[in-house]
Amino acid sequence: MKNAFLHVYYNLKHYGTSILTQLISDLYARLRRPVNVLTHCNAGWLATVDYGTALSPIYMAFEQGTPLHVWVDETRPRNQGLLTAWELGQHGVPYTLVADNAGGQLMQQCDVDLVIVGADRITRRGDVANKIGTYSVAVNAHLLRGRAILDHRLDAQRRKARDPH
């Protein structure tokens, strides 16, 4: 089972990381300033293996020389943001730890270029389950900037919830 998990993990990580690393690089080329990324939930190497899942493209972009800064949500009630901040600091990635509710304000002020969130579970259908604050982060990103990484899955969930059949 461990080998099967690692196989799926590395395939997913490679696919997702390459797309998001390129997105971060493209944003930098267009903006010509450090890319500001907001994270929610710990999805780094303490939670998984290697570079983690959601943090992996941040590490890869940083290693490739793309200037960036990470806004790290506390991610209550477990304060997983503290783990994310510690991981980023160990890697030398610039970050600022912020209160969970600060994300919407940062997005409104255009201080966030990209939102990358972890997910505790993703079903085969693409439904996402995570900390309660993830939904608010994704909705704010969609409304204010249109760049929530998991937003298409949340839209599908919202449509299903409205459908009485």
Given the residues 120, 127, 155, 163, the one annotated as active site: 120
- Taking 3-state DSSP, the helix, strand and coil percentages for the chain, each rounded to the nearest 5, stand at 50, 15, 35
**In DSSP terms, which residues pair with 109 in a beta bridge?**
none
CB atoms within 10 A of CB 46: 15
> Is 155 assigned a catalytic role?
no
Cα-only R_g, the chain: 15
Written as six digits, the tokens of 94 are 């610039």
Q: Do 44 and 51 meet the contact criterion of CB atoms below 8 Å apart?
A: yes
Residues forming the active site: 120
